[in-house]
Amino acid sequence: MLTAPPSRPSGLSCRQGRKGEVHLQPGLLGSQAQEVQTRWRPSPCFGAGKRSPTKMIHSLFLINCSGDIFLEKHWKSVVSQSVCDYFFEAQEKAADVENVPPVISTPHHYLISIYRDKLFFVSVIQTEVPPLFVIEFLHRVADTFQDYFGECSEAAIKDNVVIVYELLEEMLDNGFPLATESNILKELIKPPTILRSVVNSITGSSNVGDTLPTGQLSNIPWRRAGVKYTNNEAYFDVVEEIDAIIDKSGSTVFAEIQGVIDACIKLSGMPDLSLSFMNPRLLDDVSFHPCIRFKRWESERVLSFIPPDGNFRLISYRVSSQNLVAIPVYVKHSISFKENSSCGRFDITIGPKQNMGKTIEGITVTVHMPKVVLNMNLTPTQGSYTFDPVTKVLTWDVGKITPQKLPSLKGLVNLQSGAPKPEENPSLNIQFKIQQLAISGLKVNRLDMYGEKYKPFKGVKYVTKAGKFQVRT
Amino acid sequence: MSSNSFAYNEQSGGGEATELGQEATSTISPSGAFGLFSSDLKKNEDLKQMLESNKDSAKLDAMKRIVGMIAKGKNASELFPAVVKNVASKNIEIKKLVYVYLVRYAEEQQDLALLSISTFQRALKDPNQLIRASALRVLSSIRVPIIVPIMMLAIKEASADLSPYVRKNAAHAIQKLYSLDPEQKEMLIEVIEKLLKDKSTLVAGSVVMAFEEVCPDRIDLIHKNYRKLCNLLVDVEEWGQVVIIHMLTRYARTQFVSPWKEDDGLEDNEKNFYESDDEQKEKTDHRKKPYTMDPDHRLLIRNTKPLLQSRNAAVVMAVAQLYWHISPKSEVGIISKSLVRLLRSNREVQYIVLQNIATMSIQRKGMFEPYLKSFYVRSTDPTMIKTLKLEILTNLANEANISTLLREFQTYVKSQDKQFAAATIQTIGRCATNISEVTDTCLNGLVCLLSNRDEIVVAESVVVIKKLLQMQPVQHGEIIKHMAKLLDSITVPVARASILWLIGENCERVPKIAPDVLRKMAKSFTSEDDLVKLQILNLGAKLYLTNSKQTKLLTQYILNLGKYDQNYDIRDRTRFIRQLIVPNEKSGALSKYAKKIFLAQKPAPLLESPFKDRDHFQLGTLSHTLNTKATGYLELSNWPEVAPDPSVRNVEVIELAKEWTPAGKAKKENPAKKFYSESEEEEDSSDSSSDSESESESASGEQEEEGDSSEDSSEDTSSEHRSDSESASEVGDKRTAKRNSKSKGKSDSEDGEKENEKSKTSDSSSTDSSSEEESSSDSESVSESEREPESRKVAKEKEKKKTKQDRNPLTKDVSLLDLDDFNPVSTPVALPTPALSPSLIADLEGLNLSTCSSVISYE
């Protein structure tokens, strides 16, 4: 041995001495290491100094609303639960769950958390990492739970703790994402079904697959191999949501259309699909599932892809904001609180506007009333309403609009006596749904399949919904 | 024991790892290990019995319960001996759960953990790649220092594995071993170097991750792989893309000269120290006048662009920061659309993206101005999102849009969320100072708010008005009088202190009110907040100096109260003021200047964005979010004055004469493989796109009517949700035919690979074929004639001609666009060449042009 420090157990052929100088033990690796030496170019700017050698996600804690840590998983050495105290502290400070900062700095760690379905996913990070990387991953974990158990709740996770653990083990290796595609995970770990659990308990077979998902190896990691269906079907749901802010006078402050195309593909083999639109130029900004070929879209505005098996989101898009957005409903409102009295008046009416001749259904109005409101005494001409005196949320379930008789909700508001009247009228959040219509006018032209011989059954469905649709009063 | 195993290791030179593992296990005395934990076993006796039963189902149940315990954070370490016995179980689920357990507790029970090592070593040689990979994963996850040499060996072997999945796991294992024993760095770097050359998209992300962790300063390892990484990027999995893009951003900043022109650099709020840089740049720029972008620099910018359309927010953000940091300023604009899109996502993503937009919008307003309305606040947004949006709106405010914005702000001020309302008032103040046209309007608006019922709103208005008045030396007596009246009602300390300060500053303008205010304050002095007390003292001092007749006694009374205050700051201030303003024999020369000191012109406060100082952090990083340097943050270097030698990125391969004699088998495989790799190439798609477009158009023209009618019918028959748009799919397109054969070719090569695994004798031929393939794909980049096996001959001839020119025999460029996943790693030895080969430049420029044209036609 050349210069190996005597304290270290030395059985390895090379040691580093001064920086930039490599001492070699003659042997197998000699020639390669020599090359390192000759090509060594010190570049001080590129990154220097000592780094603590752990990166990405270190541990994950799942915390419910009452502050119990009900699951923990460590990918490296164990981090004590007490690290979550910093999180609880921040949670207390924030008052509202929505306002807990997603990134918290503690003396030794960084906590990056998401809030999903009344659960906090808190990950422990030790060094610099793009925060979106972690956030996006945590959401992917939550999505996977949703996918596997039908819901992402504390009960579901506790009931399936073994599967959860197996999933987490596959999704992250050493804190770095390994397999996050649902098609691959489902081949590795089969989702629980009642039938399977019965069969398993009798036969002793397991939920864990023992073959390597073929997708993992190919250039199309999102699709599993050997898919077989007797009925080959491909369905596309074009779902558009209108985001809008309508001001007091009824004019539109801001409106845009956000759309997605969700696909449900049940096709055997390796189908290669091309989906084209009648009017692709409507799409102003598009984000793609990894399966879509960028170049084809760039050059021809055709979505060309080998789909994953099952349900997935093909694209999300925004319709260019230059186009005028049709607003399908209008709201007439008069909400007033009298000075120095403990009551106010509340009166809203909803009517159809540019609805392209379709029925508007599933209308719900949600209003966050001011804190001084004690109770509300209203009469709807249609549907039913509820008012929660604790959260001060008024919900009116309207249903369909019939143009002959416009639905309205009228009545009195009881205020806390003595309290000053509210400064501002609450804004109305409106939900609605229009079947068979993409409000932007987007139309699928045709779907072609290559690569397989059979004829698939193809279908397209259009729906328009209200997104973040808010009326200021 | 440890010395024992290492001594052994030295003898064998780390060769026979299997035996080492066995020796290690044999040295554990069973009695000692089991005896230690016997006292704790009672609790989990039933679990232990289940684990020792013969039935797999009982074992599985036990393991599931144990995993449940681990998940809850309960200690299950006493079961270690019972669990570890099952590591070799045939049942794959039991095995997996045992792995979970092992990884969790091995660090605590190192001696016992060694029992399992030999199992993994055996599994590392398993013919099934899944088993090899998972064995490597678990082996490397067991944090037991003794097995470092075994891990090292396993990693080395795995990095040469034929399965890219195993190689990917090897890349992951590198980081684990490095964190266990940083002494292994040098050897790990060798493995990283080898894996960086890997052409599989599966490996790329993981190995760059390892690179970032182990040796981020070894930029020299990237040179040769730079172009390959750029070209592979689109096909790498999402997480790998993020890591690679961040690494390439840093790389670009060290290797290319700045694409930012000087006038751009001096534009808006660039920092001062940049200016000196610019001056220097000017000198150098005069020498090599027109700036031309390095084609490699362009390659990176171009190849990351499609990723802006990724569904993964982290990828979009990574590309956005790459554009922000390395692209010419004129091209940064394209990222804003994608970033605005991310605002539709969940609140956590919004939070991070808005923070980054806030930083960007300070420097470049124009980028986000068209999207102004996307930052309008909804009442349902969480407060943190609201304040960030407000921040951006402030940054974007200018003469043209301020009136719209102020109208919008009016709604916000009335918000039920008072914290947000307060933030809005701050914002109005900032707009008022930034845009002089609206200062008066804003001021009036704020004064109106003084009669607001909510105290927080009033207090915030007072504070902002104070700042605004300070900036305007004009008379504002009325406002001050109005505010003085507020003192009776308002209780928020900051607001009270602000009012007092304002009166003190303007005491000569409101000569009647000021002494009266002081009188009131003297009365309530003892019950005031410390902040207010200090301002009362200040007010007293100022009045004493300007109007000593009326206020002398009052001030002295206040000073006396202050002298015995509980707070030492106030006592301190009292003593200081008394010495300064009350003349006595001790007071020095300063008291002469007391008036000048107290009533000096104070510079107006700058109302600045809290995001102003964040731009020195790389966007999208944790450090940027926290606004402090996080552990392990790597600074982006400034652009180099002169670009380092670009030829280091040229990839040369020395072909040994032996390898040139093609084996018969390899020849057969070749066309299929080449076919596959070629179809993914950029040139291909861009070239053929025009052709296929016309083709598809003509094909679809026939069916358009049919498609139309079916669409219509779907609308008419409203009860049906799904409509069948039956249109016969004609497989006439050339491209699809090609794609089919591509997938066939792939499966072929997969098979071939399996064969290779079984019979090691065919190894040599396969490496031959791979080098063959490289050389043939070279010819693709040189000559456009491909696919025919004869093309290789042509390529050879060309090659010979070229080598004459280069005076560098037997070297040539490797195709950048080779996407073959199934190459065994052939280790090409690299030699530096003096300059970028002309063919490559032409190639890159060709690509450049084609994309540019497509951009023009579609945007």
Residue A41 with chain B: CB contacts under 8 Å: 219-220
Q: Work out the minimum CA distance from B255 to partner chain A, whole angstroms.
A: 10
Query: Which CATH superfamily includes the segment(s) A329-435?
Result: Mu homology domain, subdomain B (2.60.40.1170)
* Whole-Å CA distances, B760 to B103, B753, B756, B766: 33, 11, 6, 10
CA–CA gap between residue A261 and residue A242 (Å, rounded): 15
Tell me which residue has tokens 């008394």. B578
**What's CA B392's distance to the chain center, in Å?**
21
DSSP secondary structure code for residue B126 in this structure: -
Q: Are B346 and A139 within 8 A, CB to CB?
A: yes
Q: Work out the minimum CA distance from A14 to partner chain B, whole angstroms.
A: 7
**What burial letters (b/e) apply to B796-812, b meaning 16+ CB within 10 Å?**
eebbeebeeeeeeeebb
Q: Are B239 and A133 within 8 A, CB to CB?
A: yes
Q: Tell me the pLDDT tens digit for each residue of B782-795.
A: 444 444 444 445 44
Query: Crossing angle for the helix pair B763-782 and B734-758, nearest 10 degrees?
Result: 150
Contact assessment for residue A461 and residue A236, using Cβ atoms and an 8 Å cutoff: yes
The complex scores an ipTM of 0.83
Q: Work out the minimum CA distance from A381 to partner chain B, whole angstroms.
A: 27
**What's CA B744's distance to the chain center, in Å?**
37
Query: So what's the pLDDT on residue B729?
Result: 40
Chain A, window 331-360: residues with a beta carbon less than 8 angstroms from a chain B beta carbon: none
Query: Residue B631 is nearest to which of A9, A41, A127, comparing CB atoms?
Result: A127
What is the maximum span of chain A, computed from C-alpha positions, in angstroms?
A: 96
Q: Tell me the pLDDT tens digit for each residue of A146-202.
A: 988 888 899 999 888 888 988 998 888 888 888 888 888 887 788 876 555 555 555
Check residues B649 and A466 and name the one with the higher pLDDT: A466
Query: So what's the pLDDT on residue B582?
Result: 76
**Helix or strand run (H / E) with residue B675:** helix B664-679
In B91-200, which residue ranges form alpha helices assigned H by DSSP?
92-105, 110-123, 129-141, 148-159, 164-180, 185-196
Query: So what's the pLDDT on residue B247?
Result: 92
CA–CA gap between residue A63 and residue B405 (Å, rounded): 40
Query: Residue B179 is nearest to which of A54, A445, A472, comparing CB atoms?
Result: A54
Query: Residue B625 is nearest to which of A46, A131, A429, comparing CB atoms?
Result: A131
What secondary structure does DSSP assign to A273-285, as a single string?
EEEEES-GGGEEE
Q: Which two tokens stand for residue B735?
A: 């491209």
B-chain residue closest to A113, CA distance: B348
Query: So what's the pLDDT on residue A341?
Result: 73
Q: Work out the minimum CA distance from A192 to partner chain B, whole angstroms.
A: 14
Measure the N-to-C terminal CA separation of chain A; round to a whole number of Å.
Answer: 82
Q: Does B845 touch chain A (CB under 8 A)?
A: no
What secondary structure does DSSP assign to A241-276, as a single string?
EEEEEE-TTS-EEEEEEEEEEEEEEE-SS--EEEEE
Q: Per-residue pLDDT averaged across A5-32, rounded?
A: 38
**Residue A123: pLDDT over 90:** yes
Q: Does B75 touch chain A (CB under 8 A)?
A: no
Q: Does B60 touch chain A (CB under 8 A)?
A: yes
Q: Are B73 and A81 within 8 A, CB to CB?
A: yes
B-chain residue closest to A428, CA distance: B379
Q: From edge to edge, which strands make up the β-sheet containing A408-415?
A: A329-337, A343-352, A408-415, A373-380
Contact assessment for residue B787 and residue B674, using Cβ atoms and an 8 Å cutoff: yes
A-chain residue closest to B644, CA distance: A43
Contact residues for B489 (Cβ-Cβ < 8 A; gap 6+) = none
Q: Are B72 and A253 within 8 A, CB to CB?
A: no
Residue A29 with chain B: CB contacts under 8 Å: 187, 190
Q: Are B739 and A272 within 8 A, CB to CB?
A: yes
CA–CA gap between residue B582 and residue B584 (Å, rounded): 6
Q: Which two tokens stand for residue A233?
A: 């079907």
CA–CA gap between residue B840 and residue B781 (Å, rounded): 8
Query: Helix or strand or coil: residue B458?
Result: helix
Query: So what's the pLDDT on residue A234?
Result: 93
CA–CA gap between residue B704 and residue B28 (Å, rounded): 77
CATH architecture for segment(s) A57-203: 2-Layer Sandwich (3.30)
Q: Which two tokens stand for residue B78?
A: 């006493």
Query: So what's the pLDDT on residue B596?
Result: 80
User: Under CATH, which number does the domain A233-325+439-471 receive?
Assistant: 2.60.40.1170
Q: Does B130 touch chain A (CB under 8 A)?
A: yes
Residue B93 with chain A: CB contacts under 8 Å: 206-208
Query: So what's the pLDDT on residue B42?
Result: 54
Q: Does A193 touch chain B (CB under 8 A)?
A: no
pLDDT < 50 regions, chain B: 1-41, 263-288, 654-792, 794-795, 803-859
The amino acid that residue B271 corresponds to is: K
Q: Are B631 and A174 within 8 A, CB to CB?
A: no
DSSP secondary structure code for residue B20 in this structure: H
- Start-end ranges of CATH 3.30.450.60 in chain A? 57-203
Residue A315: band (very low, low, confident or very high) from pLDDT cuts 50, 70, 90:
very high
Contact residues for A390 (Cβ-Cβ < 8 A; gap 6+) = none
Query: Helix or strand or coil: residue A192?
Result: coil
**Domain B44-231: top CATH class:** mainly alpha
Q: Where are the beta strands (DSSP E) in A249-383?
A: 252-266, 272-277, 283-288, 302-305, 310-319, 329-337, 343-352, 361-368, 373-380
Q: Does B632 touch chain A (CB under 8 A)?
A: yes
The amino acid that residue A245 corresponds to is: I
What secondary structure does DSSP assign to B50-106, as a single string?
HHHSS-HHHHHHHHHHHHHHHHHT---GGGHHHHHGGGG-SSHHHHHHHHHHHHHHT
Residue A114: band (very low, low, confident or very high) from pLDDT cuts 50, 70, 90:
very high
Q: Which two tokens stand for residue B761?
A: 């004798």
Contact assessment for residue B109 and residue B103, using Cβ atoms and an 8 Å cutoff: no
CA–CA gap between residue B84 and residue B102 (Å, rounded): 7
Q: Does B337 touch chain A (CB under 8 A)?
A: yes
Query: So what's the pLDDT on residue A196?
Result: 57
Q: Which two tokens stand for residue A151?
A: 């819901």
Q: Are A470 and B379 within 8 A, CB to CB?
A: yes
CA–CA gap between residue A374 and residue A432 (Å, rounded): 28
Check residues A3 and A421 and name the one with the higher pLDDT: A421
Q: Does B671 touch chain A (CB under 8 A)?
A: no
In B197-312, which residue ranges form alpha helices assigned H by DSSP?
201-214, 220-223, 226-232, 238-255, 262-266, 272-287, 295-304
pLDDT, mean over chain A: 80
Q: Tell me the pLDDT tens digit for each residue of B321-345.
A: 999 999 988 888 889 989 998 998 8
How many beta-carbon pairs under 8 angstroms link A with B? 416
Q: Does B719 touch chain A (CB under 8 A)?
A: no
Residue B727 with chain A: CB contacts under 8 Å: 446-448
Q: Are A161 and B726 within 8 A, CB to CB?
A: no
What secondary structure does DSSP assign to B780-808, as a single string?
HHH-S--SSTTHHHHHHHHHHHHHHHHT-
Query: Residue B349 is nearest to which of A81, A135, A217, comparing CB atoms?
Result: A135
Q: Tell me the pLDDT tens digit for each residue of A254-279.
A: 888 989 999 999 999 889 999 999 98
Query: So what's the pLDDT on residue B773?
Result: 45
